[in-house]
Chain A
Amino acid sequence: MANANETSNHTNVDTGHPTKATYFAVAMLLVVLTAIEVGIFYIESLGHGIIPILAILSGAKFALVVMFYMHLRYDAKLLTWLFLAGFFLAITVVFALLGLFHFFI
Chain B
Amino acid sequence: MAQAELAHGGHEEHQTTTGLSHKKLLMWAFLGSDCMFFGSLIATYLVYKNRSLGGPLPEDVFDILTTSTSTFVLLMSSMSMVLAYSALTRGNMNGFRIWLLSTCIMGATFLGFQVFEFNEFVNHEVHFECSHLEDLTKFERTFADRCDGTVDEVFIEHAGLTPRTNLFGTTFFVLTGFHGGHVTLGVIWLLAMFFYSLRKGGITPAKHEEVDLAALYWHFVDIVWIIIFTVIYLFGVFPGF
A residues bordering B, Cβ < 8 Å? 1-5, 8, 17, 20, 23-24, 26-27, 30-31, 34, 37-38, 41, 48, 50-51, 54-55, 57-58, 61-62, 65-66, 68-70, 76-79, 81-87, 89-91, 93-94, 97-98, 101, 103
Q: Is the CB of B2 within 8 A of A4?
A: no
Could you give 13 example pairs across A and B, Cβ below 8 Å? A2-B11, A30-B79, A31-B76, A48-B241, A57-B230, A58-B230, A62-B227, A65-B219, A66-B223, A77-B2, A78-B18, A81-B1, A83-B35
- Residues of A contacting B32 with CB < 8 Å? 82-87
B residues bordering A, Cβ < 8 Å? 1-2, 4-6, 8-11, 14, 17-20, 24-25, 28-29, 31-36, 38-40, 42-43, 46-47, 49, 64-65, 68, 71-72, 75-76, 78-79, 81-83, 86, 89, 215-216, 219-220, 222-223, 226-227, 229-231, 234-235, 237-238, 240-241
Q: What is the chain A residue whose CB lies nearest that of B228?
A: A58
- Residues of B contacting A103 with CB < 8 Å? 46-47, 49
Choose one: B20, B49, B72; the contact of A3 (CB below 8 Å): B20
Q: Is the CB of B39 within 8 A of A70?
A: no
Q: Is the CB of B75 within 8 A of A30?
A: yes
- Residues of B contacting A81 with CB < 8 Å? 1-2
Q: What is the chain B residue whose CB lies nearest that of A40?
A: B234
